[in-house]
Structure 1
Amino acid sequence: MLMKLLLAFLVTSFAFAQNSEHLPQQREQRGFGQIDFLSIDMPANPEGLREPNMGWSGLHYNLSFGDFYTGLGIYGSLTGQRGGFFTLGLNAGFKTPLSDLLFMDTGLHFGGGGGAGAPDGGGAFILPHADLGFQFRPFSLTLGYSYINFIDNGQIESHQLHFGMQIPLNFDYATFDHLEKKYTSADLKNTSWDKPSRRFSFMLHLNNLNVSENSTIAKVSSSADTTIRLVGLEIDAYLDKNWFVFFKADGAYSGIPAGYMDIFLGGGYHFSFNNNTTNLLTKFGMGAGGGGGVDSQGGFMIYPDLSLEQRLFDDMYISINTGFMLTPDSHFSSSTYGLGLKYYANFNGIENKTKSRSATFKGFEAILKQEVYLDAQRTSNPTEDLHQISFQLNYFLNKTFYLAGQTSFANFGNAGAYAEGIAGLGLQSSALFGNTIQVFGQVLAGGAGGGNISTGQGFILKPAAGINLKLSPTLSLRSSVGYTKALGGELASVFGNIGLSYKLAFLNAK
């Protein structure tokens, strides 16, 4: 009897060891989110009159590698008279501990963008800072000096105080070569993946702003229709079963001259009915919006919303929403209504309220690139090349197809106010030449405009093809060429880009 028990133990241990060897290693990436604010001294106009300072606020996410960090940030105007002034850029810096409670944060943000008729030149700018940080248990606060300069023939240059709040946002992941590998709950039991999962949702949506009569917008025709049509992306991160925070970004593609954009950060509450097949979501967000002839004053807006969702299949839902979008004093106000396609996922754990029985590693790819449009057609200025900084996020449906969302902002080429918000579908090949190269193709479409670029009401179509050259398990060099066509304008340009791709896999429990 003893020999039988010993033999059973050895067989079980061997099987477990064999299984563990094939399980993806769980890795941790440290990082932090940041909200910051600075008040920019704007230059005098040609008549010598000065305008109010532009209150600028940014949302950032940075990856930490010891004291060094790097990541992305997007800024928008909240106060002053430049509503619709947005930028995108790259962060790099050091957080140097001085004591358990104090640290120094020194770094540089390089980006591109502009808008709202501001003297932004080509859009490229630098924003170095030197801050003293105060570390609290759940967050940290920073205060210090910053300097901003729009370096490509822009006139905005200012020294100012810099305020910030930072929140740790770490995540676990597996390397991308585990894409689409499937496991059961039994396989992952008593491993590092055996923990509560985090719930997220991702939605591509079409939204409409029915602008009130007392709001000022630039219409594209003399008709009485004052509807602005938007396309965008929303990401929800759940704090528990019901409460969540959300990030939402939209760009206009019809109804007004191209160039309108809005970005919101907020929270909400999720109600479920009919065995989780029907959901009701209440949301409230605050953010920035403007451009494209929309007079939003400084740009600060609030966004209450009510959404109703119905499951189509598995974790895919169709969503309809209604609400309001307005400045606090209702200088600009509109009712909103829209339609979206939403996907729910439970990441990096096998414990959730549905008691998952299987899990699959799903792939994400984040891409930062520099892009050039050759001979980008202008509405009035002479034709010249347009350069822009661009960020793209891909979600892999399987090993071949991915959904993509992309935003871009001009940084050189006399078009500082130009920006894009587009989405679409792509496909990639299996790895070639010793697992070092992959080729891909994609077609994206959405809203774009501003900077005197001839995009009509803003709808563009953007097919492309390119290659990824693998540098490490997570990093690749990525380059592509393609063609951009504005369906309602004269923009028809060949483009090329080069950048870095950061690929990860996350465990999605079913």
Structure 2
Amino acid sequence: MVFLLPVFASAEEEGSSIDSVPAKFRFTYDNASLPAGEKMGFLGTTALYDVNDWLSFGPSAYGALVGQRGGFITLGMATELRKELFDNNFEVNAGMFVGAGGGRGGFQLAGGGLMLRYHLGAKLKTFMGDFGGGISYIDFPDGAIHSSQPYISYEFPFTTLIASGRRDVPDWEGAMIGRGSLSEQEFATVFRTYQIPTGVLTDSGRAQYKTINLMGIEWNRYLDDNLFLKIESEGAMGGQSNGYMQILFGLGYRFELMDGTWFKLSSSLGVAGGGDVATGGGLIIDAVASLQQRLGDNLFAEISAGYVKVPETSFKAVSYAGKIGYHFYTPNVRSESVDLTDLIGFDAAHFRMRTTHQTYYKAAANWRSHHANLNVDLLGIQMDYFLHDNFYLTGQGLAAYKGQAGAYMTGLVGGGVHLPLFGSPLFIDGELLVGAAGGGGLAVGGGFVWQGNAGLGYQFSDEFSLIAQYGYMAAPKGNFRAKVLSLSLGYNLTLFSR
């Protein structure tokens, strides 16, 4: 999904054309120093979208991959300044990440959860992608991590076509982009169960509970008619492992069994941990077989079975999943701009990206296992897809940065209503979401939570809005109850698909 969604990317329209947006998907590796001489290999994944010739911006995540801190994960936003040299084959850059999270080590290690990362580096552009490195500094200001180290990086550059604001495809005749210039993609909501055999132990040495139920999202991008890349992120919402989270990257291949029915094989690796699940340094590997059935031009259902293993520990499980997803094509853009007449046959899908701050206020005596009288402040991202001018699907991922709740994260999906007020820039939004949460000592039971929000927004321009909301969040099988105050900066964008 991150290949498609820029944050404050500049896609300026000039007359009847739309400028394409250069971007890159970056992997970094930092070997960070922790107290008492401990080392933690930190894998970073970032999608950077060019605002102009020297500035990029986008979402980012970091997770422990090597060491003793599996499940130490942060989410946030990154920005970078860059200067190209030697006929654009070499680049120097400097950047900053602001995010939140934590993991094994709790608030003693991550404090409230706020993470800052600064870097100064360079990269060489090649036909296989861009290779780079430099010096980084990772800082948890109210925690125990303050580390300088070298880093290495790999980037996959690409170009996408997204218009800022709300745009529509014109109704006149034009030359439609052909099938060979399309990028095929899938996005799905995932409900997964791990069935864990006897003999698997938790991180604290007890017998691991026999099931973990997870909820999350998956995005696939096809490299040709059969081969695809996949990214998935899921969190525990049932069992006894609340706070467990995983982010996986993989490669797969599909076979068409009959019209609309596909058999898929894939394998992934990534970072995982939390919830007392024994993931060692954090590396996890899985293999999956899936059966997909198309339910129409865009919708599909999919079931899968697989096997997951942590190489360092005894953790292993048989994995079963059900997915409901959306299949679509986007223009595969190679030029600097595209005429709107070339988009005949595509639909204009309207999205709103929100950079969000939330504060949890105590609404039950035992809502936390420690620091029960402290509020919890969170940072994160929300994405809204407008099915209609007044109705949208929404998803959010947030992590604690203040309130001694480092390692708390939540991922929710749901729906909302958007009501403009009397033709003015003011509007009312209301939404209901469900999903997974855990970590940081918040008493969320197995991890399943729900949240309702309502509030007032102001549309400053076609692109930008400011939204304030008040809500309530609860864990049906835990003591967690909180009043929620949210403030979001929204950015409207249009994605062309069919």
After TM superposition, the score normalised by the length of structure 1 is: 0.86
Q: CA deviation at 1:264?
A: 0.4
Match of 1:311 among 288, 294, 298: 294
- The correspondence of residues 75-474 of structure 1 with structure 2, limited to 5 A, is 75-100=62-87, 101-118=89-106, 119-152=109-142, 154-178=143-167, 187=172, 189-190=174-175, 196-217=181-202, 226-275=210-259, 277-329=260-312, 331-348=314-331, 358-375=345-362, 377-430=367-420, 433-434=423-424, 436-474=425-463
Question: Which blocks of at least 5 consecutive residues in structure 1 are unaligned?
Answer: 1-20, 45-49, 351-355
- Aligned pair count reads 469
Q: Which moved more, 1:481-490 or 1:371-380?
A: 371-380
- Report which of the two structures shows the higher radius of gyration computed on alpha carbons: 1
Residue 358 and residue 214 in structure 1: after superposition, are their counterparts in 2 closer, same or farther (change >3 A)? Answer: same
Change in Cα spacing, 1:358 to 1:444, as seen in structure 2 (3 Å) is: same
Evaluate the alpha carbon distance shift between residue 22 and residue 150 of structure 1 in structure 2; reply closer, same or farther with a 3 A threshold.
closer
Contact 1:348 1:506 (C-alpha < 8 Å) held by counterparts: no
- Change in CA separation of 1:170 and 1:439 when aligned onto 2, cut-off 3 Å: farther
Shift of 1:293: 1.0
In the TM superposition, what is the alpha-carbon distance from 1:402 to its structure 2 partner?
Answer: 2.1
Q: Work out whether 1:71 is the aligned partner of 2:61.
A: no
The CA deviation string for residues 80-103 of structure 1, in whole angstroms up to 9 with x for no partner, is 111111101221221112323322
Give how far 1:365 is off. Answer: 2.2
In structure 1, distance between residues paired with 2:327 and 2:118:
38
d(CA) in 2 for partners of 1:88, 1:225: 28
Q: Which moved more, 1:224-233 or 1:75-84?
A: 224-233
Q: Structure 2 vs 1, CA of residues 293 and 349 (structure 1 numbering), >3 Å: closer, same or farther?
A: closer
Supply the AA of the counterpart residue of 2:69: R
d(CA) in 1 for partners of 2:179 and 2:198? 56
Task: Report the Cα offset of residue 79 of structure 1.
Answer: 0.8
Letter in 2 for 1:501: G
Alpha-carbon RMSD: 2.6
| C-alpha displacement of 1:336 | 0.1
Partner residue, 1:491: 480
Asked whether the equivalents of residues 246 and 266 of structure 1 are also in contact (C-alpha less than 8 Å), the reply is: yes
Q: Which amino acid letter does the alignment assign opposite residue 475 of structure 2?
A: A
Name the % identity.
28
* Equivalent residue letter for 1:27: D
Residue 484 (structure 1) shift: 0.8
After TM superposition, give the deviation of residue 193 of structure 1 in Å.
8.9
* Deviates further, 394-403 or 76-85: 394-403
What is the one-letter code of the residue matched to 2:210? T
Residue 431 of structure 1, CA deviation = 7.2
Deviation at 1:506, TM superposition (A): 2.0
Deviations 1:441-488 (CA, angstroms, capped at 9, x unpaired):
111111101111111111111111234433343332233221111112
Aligned to 1:397, the other structure's residue is in SS state: strand
In structure 2, relative to structure 1, the CA distance for the partners of 1:432 and 1:147 (3 Å cut) is farther
Residue 299 of structure 1 deviates from its aligned partner by: 0.6
Distance 1:344 1:192, change over 3 A: closer
Alignment partners' CA distance in 1, 2:227 and 2:466: 38
Distance 1:24 1:228 in 2: 51
CA distance, structure 1, for counterparts of residue 406 and residue 155 of structure 2: 29
CA contact (8 A) 1:182 1:361 kept: no
Corresponding residue for residue 4 of structure 2: none
Q: Is contact 2:470–2:484 with CA below 8 Å preserved after alignment?
A: yes
| TM-score of the pair, normalised by structure 2 | 0.88
Give the superposition deviation at 1:22: 13
2:9 corresponds in structure 1 to none
> Are 1:37 and 2:29 counterparts?
yes
- How many Å separate the matches in 1 of 2:177 and 2:328? 19
Q: Structure 1 residues 462-471 or 198-207, which shifts more? A: 462-471
* Amino acid paired to 2:48: N
1:260 CA drift (Å)? 0.3
